[in-house]
Amino acid sequence: MKKILILGGGGYVGTQLSKILLKKYKVINYDLFYFNWLIKNKKKLKNSNRLFLKKKNILDVEDIDLKNVDIVCDLVGIANDPSSDLNKSYSRIINCDARYKFAKLAKKNGVKRYIFNSTCSIYGFNKNKVFETSKANPLSCYAKSVYKAEKKIYSLKSKNFKVNVLRNATLYGFSDTMRFDLVINLFTYLLLHNKKITINGDGKQSRPFLSVIDVSRMYDYIIKHKPDSFIVNALSFSSDIRSLSKKLTKILKKPNTLIDFDSSKNDHRNYNVGSKNFRKFFKKFKFTSLEYDLKKLINQIKEKKLKPNTNTIRVSFYKKKFKTL
88-116, pLDDT tens digit by residue?
A: 999 999 999 999 999 999 999 999 999 99
Measured distance between the N- and C-terminal CA atoms of the chain, rounded to whole angstroms: 39
- Check pLDDT > 80 for residue 59: yes
pTM for the whole structure: 0.95
Residues 54-67 have a mean pLDDT of: 97
Q: Residues near 237 by Cβ (< 8 Å), separated by ≥ 6?
A: 208, 209, 290
pLDDT digits (tens, 9 = 90+) for 6-35: 999 999 999 999 999 999 999 999 999 999
Comparing 295 with 202, which gets the higher pLDDT?
Answer: 295
Whole-number pLDDT of residue 312: 95
Average pLDDT, the chain: 95
Please report the pLDDT score of residue 325 as a whole number: 60
* Residue 67, pLDDT score: 95
pLDDT digits (tens, 9 = 90+) for 63-86: 999 999 999 999 999 988 899 999
Mean pLDDT (whole number) for 281-301 = 96
- The answer on pLDDT for 302 being more than 90 is yes
Cβ atoms of residues 114 and 164 within 8 Å:
yes
| More confident call, 322 vs 185 | 185
Statement: residue 264 has pLDDT above 80: no
| DSSP assignment of 44-104 | GSTTGGGEEEEE--GGG--GGGGTT--EEEE--S--SHHHHHTTHHHHHIIIIIIHHHHHH
- pLDDT digits 0-9 by tens, 140-184: 999 999 999 999 999 999 999 999 999 999 999 999 999 999 999
Architecture field, domain 3-324 = 3-Layer(aba) Sandwich (3.40)
